[in-house]
């Protein structure tokens, strides 16, 4: 019986499984090379990377304006003749918008000498982070395009090429040129630039701004919450840089990354590749067909989290050195917060499908307000662990809000049925 069910799942979701295998390969490569980087980079280097990543996340949100989710939702609605033009138009105008803002950020820094973080310079670290966000937009949109068309093998090829190129360049910059954190940032930026050039050459066609506008109409409520979330993270790291050392920020970076390593690995593989299938079934009004699979995925992720919590110390020693054992408590905190994130995610897919992105924005903004209050209360008392505790409470608040706003019970979240938006 179980064997037949597994075979049915495999046949039905063959492409999703192929997408998942690509993500497995990429995450596997990252996991294998993590011990190398933790031995080549210092804890202060990881502190610089944490601050730079927060700026990159903010820039990514303001550059993309929710267009990645829009491509997943809207692409199938266009005719075959319009699809290529739609994708190219969204990519080109997104890049143009991001480069204009990049120049604006440089101007602000030149005129006002804005300093977001102590001990982390705008140039070169934050400049490279913003540029990376600019060109990563094209890469993300192209990945969404491949997912919608079920071009799983091409998706795997592009993703693996990016990761291998990024790791190779990072190692060269760090070992041969001794650039430390800057080498890691450059290693992430250059492949995005090369992939954009490839997409531009292969996908060039006439473009229309109306496609970009249509994508933004769907995505901008998501972008608002992402931008504000990223601003909150920048403020958080700026606040931390004034209260803790770069070394402690580095400990936070490792604890967070290791805590999210396994659940995020499975989440990216099984959930995000599964999203186009969910949209298709919702278009057919066939909710019952995905109920079993949703429960199966949720239970699997929760089991993975529990196993990771049990073996957390061994995982730290496997991927890093003894000096990073200080991140053990943070790792477990982030694992615990993922439990609420998993329960929260499935109802939000339904909300996205019904274009009710403002509900998502309201929930995110309210929970971010709670988070800001908590970091001021908890960081002075618990240092970097205070951020982790604040994130757990924030994720729990988001789950409660989705239950209240959608008038759901926990059982309905698990079954993904009768969601009132």
Residues 255 and 379 in one domain: yes
**Does 398 share its domain with 319?**
yes
Establish if 269 belongs to a structural domain: yes
Q: How many Cα atoms occupy the beta-carbon half-sphere of 119 within 13 Å? A: 20
Q: What is the pTM of this model?
A: 0.77
Residue ranges of the alpha helices (H) in 205-287? 209-241, 246-267, 275-283
Q: How many domains does the chain have?
A: 2
Same domain, 134 and 258: no
Domain check: are 251 and 312 in the same one? yes
pLDDT values of the chain reduced to their tens digit, one per residue, 421 residues = 445 545 555 545 566 666 667 777 777 888 889 899 999 999 999 999 988 898 888 888 787 777 766 666 666 666 666 766 777 777 777 777 788 888 887 777 776 555 667 677 778 898 999 899 988 888 888 887 777 777 778 888 888 899 999 999 999 999 999 999 999 999 999 999 998 888 777 666 555 666 666 666 666 666 676 778 777 878 887 887 777 888 888 998 899 888 888 787 777 666 655 666 666 666 666 666 666 667 777 787 788 888 888 999 999 998 888 888 999 999 999 888 888 888 887 777 777 666 666 777 788 888 888 998 998 899 888 888 888 899 999 999 998 888 777 654 444 444 444 444 4
Residue with tokens 């609420």: 340
Q: Are residues 298 and 346 in the same domain?
A: yes
Instruction: Tell me: do 333 and 264 sit in the same domain.
Output: yes
Confirm whether 3 is domain-assigned: yes
Claim to verify: residue 253 and residue 335 sit in the same structural domain: yes
Cβ neighbours, 10 Å, residue 197: 12
In a domain, 283, yes or no: yes
Q: Are residues 368 and 419 in the same domain?
A: yes
Q: Which residue has the tokens 């249509």?
A: 214
Query: d(Cα 61, Cα 223) in Å, to the nearest integer?
Result: 6
d(CA 283, CA 386): 43
Would you say 55 and 49 are in contact if contact means Cβ atoms under 8 Å apart?
no
Last residue within a domain, chosen from 165, 186, 219: 219
Angle, helices 80-112/43-64, rounded to nearest 10 degrees: 120
In DSSP notation, 100-146 reads HHHHHHHHHHHHH----BTTB-IIIIIHHHHHHHHHHHHHHHHHHHH
| Structural domain includes residue 227 | no
Answer yes or no: is 1 within a domain: yes
Q: What is the dihedral of CA 5, 9, 11, 16, to 10 degrees?
A: -170
Q: Do 197 and 286 share a structural domain?
A: no
Q: End-to-end alpha-carbon separation of the chain, Å?
A: 37
Domain-located, residue 230: no
Q: Supply 241's token pair.
A: 């840089």
Q: Is 276 exposed, middle or buried (0-12, 13-18, 19+ CB in 10 A)?
A: buried
Measured CA to CA, the distance from residue 132 to residue 120 in angstroms comes to 17
Which tokens belong to 102? 């990049």
Residues 12 and 76 in one domain: no
- Do 205 and 285 fall within a single domain? no
Q: Is residue 64 one of the residues assigned to a domain?
A: yes
CA-CA distance, 106 to 112, in Å (whole number)?
A: 10
Residues 204, 56 share a domain: yes
| Domain that residue 108 falls in | 41-219
Asked if the structure places residue 228 within a domain, the reply is no
């Amino acid at each position: 019986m179980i064997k037949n069910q597994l075979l049915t799942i495999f046949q039905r979701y063959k492409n999703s499984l192929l997408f998942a295998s690509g993500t497995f390969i990429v995450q596997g490569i990252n996991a294998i090379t993590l011990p190398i980087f933790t031995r080549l980079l210092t804890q202060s280097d990881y502190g610089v990377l944490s601050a730079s990543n927060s700026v990159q996340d903010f820039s990514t949100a303001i550059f993309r304006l929710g267009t990645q989710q829009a491509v997943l939702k809207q692409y199938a609605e266009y005719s075959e003749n319009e699809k290529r033009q739609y994708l190219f138009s969204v990519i080109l105008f997104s890049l143009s918008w991001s480069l204009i803002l990049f120049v604006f950020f440089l101007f602000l820094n030149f005129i006002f000498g804005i300093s977001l973080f102590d001990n982390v310079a705008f140039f070169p670290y934050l400049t490279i982070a913003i540029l990376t966000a600019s060109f990563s937009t094209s890469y993300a949109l192209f990945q969404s395009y491949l997912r919608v068309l079920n071009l799983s093998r091409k998706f795997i090829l592009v993703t693996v090429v990016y990761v291998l190129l990024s790791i190779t360049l990072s190692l060269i910059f760090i070992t041969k040129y001794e650039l430390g954190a800057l080498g890691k940032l450059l290693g992430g930026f250059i492949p995005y630039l090369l992939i954009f050039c490839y997409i531009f050459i292969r996908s060039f066609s006439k473009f229309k701004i109306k496609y970009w506008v249509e994508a933004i109409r769907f995505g901008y409520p998501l972008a608002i919450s992402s931008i504000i979330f990223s601003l909150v993270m920048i403020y958080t790291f700026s606040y931390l840089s004034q209260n803790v050392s770069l070394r402690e920020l580095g400990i936070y970076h490792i604890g967070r990354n290791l805590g999210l390593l396994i659940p995020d690995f499975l989440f990216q593989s099984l959930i995000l590749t599964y999203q186009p299938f969910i949209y298709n079934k919702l278009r057919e009004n066939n909710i019952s067909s995905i109920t079993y699979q949703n429960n199966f995925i949720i239970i699997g992720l929760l089991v993975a989290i529990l196993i990771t919590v049990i073996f957390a110390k061994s995982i730290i020693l496997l991927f890093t050195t003894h000096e990073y054992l200080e991140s053990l408590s943070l790792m477990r905190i982030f694992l615990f917060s993922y439990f609420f994130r998993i329960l929260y995610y499935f109802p939000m897919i339904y909300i996205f499908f019904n274009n009710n992105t403002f509900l998502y924005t309201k929930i995110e903004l309210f929970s971010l307000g709670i988070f800001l209050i908590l970091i001021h209360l908890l960081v002075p008392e618990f240092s970097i662990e205070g951020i982790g505790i604040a994130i757990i409470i924030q994720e729990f608040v988001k789950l409660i809000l989705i239950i209240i706003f959608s008038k759901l019970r926990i059982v309905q979240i698990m079954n993904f049925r009768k969601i009132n938006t």
